[in-house]
Every structure is written in structure tokens, then in C-alpha cells.
Amino acid sequence: MLFLRRFLKDEKLESAAAAVYAVAAQQARHPAFYLSYEVPDTVDGRFEMVVLQAYILFRRLKGQGEAIDRLTQATYDVMFRELDLALREMGAADLGVGRRIKHMAESMNGRIQFYDQGLVADDGDASLGAALRRNLYGTVSPSEDSLARMVRYLKVAIAALEDQQIDRIAAADFHFPDPNTI
């Protein structure tokens, strides 16, 4: 736990949050999601994959104490700064970026609720599958096999992060499962 005390200093917190976010963002870019899981390889599809990986990460970090709460918030902040930068690089007008980022944050918060509800629903995987179909896949219609694989991936990834020590996650020394094996 000595490692976690370092987060009491803000200059280290920002660096740690950026490193933790980088792991989640890298997972969101895994080609398998776009090639075999049928996630649309679009700006929206990539945003949804970042949100899904962040959801898995934030779910693991929840309730782990004050230092981890601060890391979680800092990671959330880094994620939205990166999204802001990406929008600007794509040519979004300065006046529109703030509005789009606000919409993205609201969207993420809604997805967190829907994914949480889907995970605890007693309808098999129907609610979770419906939430993924509506949000992750958006306007495309994935095959039932791809949707079922994504449900399995989400559950396996949650379990995989639960099995990893919190201080290793806080040090960005963690991994998500390989989607090719699910």
C-alpha cells in the first residue's frame, strides 16, 4: 500500500492516470474488436470501445479507497482530455468541442448504468446484450455470434481485472484479456 500513498501528490497522480488510461485505450484499439466482433470501425465505434474498456476498469477501481478514487477521477479526466484533443485533431470547431465532450460524458454515464443493470439482470444475458447492441454497435446490426462473444468478453474482462491486484492496476501494470481467445 506504500505505492498508493504516492497518489497523495498530484504531480504523480496525473502521470499515473495517463498510464492507466493508456492501457485501456490500447485495448480499445485491438483489431479483433473491429474485425471479428463487428464493432464499427468509425469514430463512434472507437468511442464506444474506449467507453467499454473504461467501464471495465472503473468497475474494478470502484470502492477501493480514497487514493484509488482520486486515481479513477484523474483517469476519467485524462480520458476526456484525450477525447477533446482527438475531436480537435479531426477538425471540430472549438465552440462545438465542449458541447460534444459534455454529450460524450453524459453518454458514458448512461452506458455505465445500462451495463451495470445488464450484468445483474436475471434474464440470462438478454439485458446486457441489448445494452451492448444499442450502445456499442449503434446503427449496425452485429451477428448474434458477435454479440454473444462481446457479452462473454465483457464478463471475462471484468473477472480478469478482479483477479489482478489493485496496486498493480494503479501502477498501469495490468492487462485485459486477449479478445481473440474469447
User: Using one digit for the tens of pLDDT, what is the confidence trace for 105-143?
Assistant: 777 888 899 999 999 999 999 999 999 999 999 889 999
Average pLDDT, the chain: 89
For residues 145-155, give the mean pLDDT: 98
3-state secondary structure labels for all residues of the chain: CHHHHHHHCHHHHHHHHHHHHHHHHHHHCCHHHHHCCCCCCCHHHHHHHHHHHHHHHHHHHCCCCHHHHHHHHHHHHHHHHHHHHHHHHCCCCHHHHHHHHHHHHHHHHHHHHHHHHHHHCCCCCHHHHHHHHHHCCCCCCCCHHHHHHHHHHHHHHHHHHHCCCHHHHHCCCCCCCCHHHC
Q: Is pLDDT above 60 for 93?
A: no
pTM exceeding the 0.75 threshold for the entire prediction: yes
